[in-house]
Chain A
Amino acid sequence: MIRDKRFHLSVLLLTIIMVLGFATLCMASGDASGTAIPQPPGQTPAFGNLFVIGWTAVNFFVLLALLYKFAFNPINAMMDQRAATIESSLKHAEEVRIEIDQMKKETQANLADSRKEAQEIVARATKAAEDAKTEIINKAHEEADNFKVKAKAEIEAATEQAKKELKDTSAVLAIMAAEKLLGRAITDEDHKKMVDQFVNEAGDMLC
């Protein structure tokens, strides 16, 4: 629709131009008193003008030299330089890529090594801890055993001491009881006899 409008407008414009132009043309030819179309002055170019040919050849080669110096040579050199730059950039990029690949591989290898080492360290630490634990437990057991043995010995010694003290006390008590019963002092001989007897009997009963 818009295109149609534009087309019609341009046709109209062109028609106006042509009409105006031809009106001018008619007026111009009307002024020229009778002659239909006036002839512009001038002369047809002579063929084979050696001076023009020579000048043109010289001028053309001067232009060629100028363009060679200021356009073709520098631009071709620049193209070559640009090609070299692009080539070296691509090469550099390839090198960097290879380097990065290598670094990646190295990093991965390092990572694997580190992981292995870490695992070893953990395993070693675990083992050491286990060992320490066993040792501590064993030591504790040993100490407990020692303590038990010592305590038992102490208990036995105390028992013996108590028995002995009891024997002595019971002997004194027996003498005192016997004295009360007999109402008199017992001679050393009787005393000794009775005490020994009593003690032996009481001791046997107690133990």
Chain B
Amino acid sequence: MIFGMHDGVLFHLGPIPVDHLVVTQWVIIALLGTVAFFATRNMQEIPRGLQNAFEMIITWANEFFTQLMDKPHVAKKWAPLLTTFFLFILVSNYSGLLPGSATIDGFQPPTSNWNVTMTLALITFFSIYVAGISENGLHHFKHFVSPSPAMLPLNLVEEVAHPLSLTVRLFGNIFGEEMVIAYLLFMAPFVVPAAIMGLSLLLGAIQAIVFTILSASYIAAATGEGH
């Protein structure tokens, strides 16, 4: 029996090992890609059905990031990445609620593994640098010695704390939730996990939103005027 904490190789693709959660990621990508493909296959001037839903998500995200960031062109540039973060994390979190999650081979919620959350946090980390340098040039690095060079150590700690907090927050929440559900399912498979599953429905959405908003605010801070 495999539980939420399992972290193992499912099969090898040539010399490269493929973990359970990598297979789940493929399924998530296929799902999101297929939905997006069908949503925008026959684009109409007057949107209907799936196209309407997808347009709503993307328009809402664009508006949200434009409000969050000072510069609309930065928001427009980074909105796709941030929206992808949101959709990927949301679907990953919710995949843990499906029956068979963490018990079927190859099916494990990716965000319950800290290698995955760390990768996402590292993408944010590098995005902050890309955004900062493309917007402010080499002046971006001035923030290490601001307001005075004496703050350099603290600024360095802060720099590392951002991705670390993103990693641990997402991983901790989803892994914890998965573990609680796994224990409850193991001990009392009758009805009790339903309450926690209802809670984790909320938790999954909140964590996806938190990760996205924090990434957006870090990018906004790096591209801001005062940086």
- Comparing B2-10, B67-75, B154-162, B207-215, the segment that makes contact with chain A is B2-10
Any chain B CB within 8 A of the CB of A53? yes
Tell me, in angstroms, the Cα distance from A55 to B116 when the chains sit together: 9
Give chain A interface residues in 24-77, CB to chain B under 8 Å.
24-25, 28-29, 37-38, 40-49, 51-53, 55-57, 59-60, 62-64, 66-68, 70-72, 74-76
Nearest residue, chain B, Cβ from A81: B45
The verdict on A63 contacting B32 (CB below 8 Å), with A40-B183, A51-B16, A78-B43 known, is: yes
Contact B33 A63 (CB under 8 A): yes
- Which bracket fits the contact residues of B? 35 or more
Contact B115 A66 (CB under 8 A): no
Any chain B CB within 8 A of the CB of A82? yes
Contact B119 A49 (CB under 8 A): no
Give chain B interface residues in 154-199, CB to chain A under 8 Å.
175, 182-183, 186-192, 194-195
Nearest residue, chain B, Cβ from A77: B43
Instruction: State how many angstroms separate the Cβ of A52 from the closest Cβ of chain B.
Output: 4
Tell me, in angstroms, the Cα distance from A41 to B190 when the chains sit together: 20
Contact B88 A75 (CB under 8 A): no
Give chain B interface residues in 79-102, CB to chain A under 8 Å.
79-81, 83-84, 87-88
Contact A82 B45 (CB under 8 A): yes
Contact of B17 among A22, A41, A51, A72 (CB under 8 A): A51
User: At the interface, is chain B mostly helix, strand, loop or mixed?
Assistant: helix
Contact A70 B33 (CB under 8 A): yes
Count how many chain A residues have C-beta atoms less than 8 Å from C-beta atoms of the other chain.
Answer: 47
Contact A52 B116 (CB under 8 A): yes
Tell me, in angstroms, the Cα distance from A144 to B187 when the chains sit together: 138
* List of A residues within 8 angstroms of B119 by Cβ: 52-53, 56-57, 60
Contact A53 B118 (CB under 8 A): yes
Any chain B CB within 8 A of the CB of A122? no
* List of A residues within 8 angstroms of B194 by Cβ: 17
* List of A residues within 8 angstroms of B29 by Cβ: 59, 62-63, 66
Contact of A17 among B8, B39, B195 (CB under 8 A): B195
* List of A residues within 8 angstroms of B16 by Cβ: 51
* List of A residues within 8 angstroms of B32 by Cβ: 63, 66-67
Task: Give 17 pairs: A residue, B residue, CB < 8 Å, sorted on A.
Answer: A21-B190, A22-B192, A24-B190, A37-B187, A40-B5, A40-B182, A41-B1, A43-B8, A45-B114, A49-B7, A49-B115, A52-B19, A55-B22, A67-B80, A67-B83, A70-B37, A74-B40
Task: List residues of A whose CB falls within 8 A of some B CB.
Answer: 14, 17-18, 20-22, 24-25, 28-29, 37-38, 40-49, 51-53, 55-57, 59-60, 62-64, 66-68, 70-72, 74-76, 78-79, 81-82, 85
